[in-house]
């Protein structure tokens, strides 16, 4: 098996990949993440996931390199990380009673064969109608200021949600493990 590299500095993606119980290394790719004019969310995430993986190929010439990227949309408009309390209050207020779409791209690049596999995995999260007090209590408790959408489904943020729809709940956090397992299997990596 070729060694694995996660092309990310995300603590969330690292924690997800650790669940597969495979040895891997993390390396942050240095790429321009600016969207191209008229680029759709799916196209942007797909391009960035691929670029992240391929950017590390010279440094890791005989590896399986995992690139991933995510865009969160509310009514077709991107939702970023709030960075602070006020931004999170605004995001959760706008999301109340509505659906966010998480578009997560995954790209597995074999730097030895120069072949790659990629997908874009959508995941939809519908929020309950939230009161200002509920939003404040949640944010004071969890402080998800580094999470697009201003919540952590793996934590107390699950209490804000009415419904989730998609094939892989891990894609919501940033790394579609079900699809990754299938891609790794095509590369000869055996998992339980």
Model pLDDT for residues 114-145, shown as the tens digit of each residue: 999 999 999 999 999 999 999 999 999 999 99
Domain-embedded: residue 192? no
Q: Report whether 72 contacts 127 (CB < 8 A).
A: no
CA-closest candidate to residue 11, choices 144, 116, 191:
144
pLDDT interval class at 104 (50, 70, 90): very high
Domain-embedded: residue 105? yes
Domain-embedded: residue 191? no
pLDDT interval class at 63 (50, 70, 90): very high
Strands (E), the chain: 4-6, 24-26, 64-74, 77-79, 99-110, 115-127, 161-166
| Known catalytic residue at 30 | no
Range of the domain at 46: 4-186
* Structural domains of the chain, count: 1
Question: What's residue 12's pLDDT?
Answer: 93
Domain-embedded: residue 102? yes
Domain-embedded: residue 110? yes
Which residue of the set 30, 69, 75, 168 is catalytic? 69
Residue 192 has pLDDT above 90, yes or no: no
Q: Report whether 153 contacts 172 (CB < 8 A).
A: yes
CATH value at residue 155: 3.90.950.10
């Amino acid at each position: 098996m070729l060694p694995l590299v996660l092309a990310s500095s995300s603590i969330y993606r690292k924690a997800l990949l650790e669940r597969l119980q495979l040895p891997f290394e993390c390396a942050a790719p240095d790429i321009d993440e600016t969207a191209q004019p008229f680029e759709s969310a799916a196209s942007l995430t797909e391009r960035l996931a691929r670029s992240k993986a391929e950017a590390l190929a010279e440094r890791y010439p005989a590896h399986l390199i995992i690139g991933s990227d995510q865009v969160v949309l509310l009514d077709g408009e991107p939702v970023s990380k709030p960075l602070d309390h006020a931004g999170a209050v605004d995001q959760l207020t706008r999301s109340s009673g509505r659906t966010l779409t998480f578009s997560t791209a995954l790209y597995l690049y074999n730097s030895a064969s120069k072949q790659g596999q990629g997908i874009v995995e959508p995941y939809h999260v519908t929020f309950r109608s939230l009161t200002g007090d509920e939003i404040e209590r949640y944010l004071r408790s969890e402080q998800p200021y580094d999470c697009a959408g201003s919540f952590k489904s793996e934590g107390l943020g699950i209490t804000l949600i009415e419904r989730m729809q998609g094939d892989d709940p891990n894609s919501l956090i940033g790394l579609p493990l079900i699809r990754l397992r299938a891609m790794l299997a095509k590369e000869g990596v055996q998992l339980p």
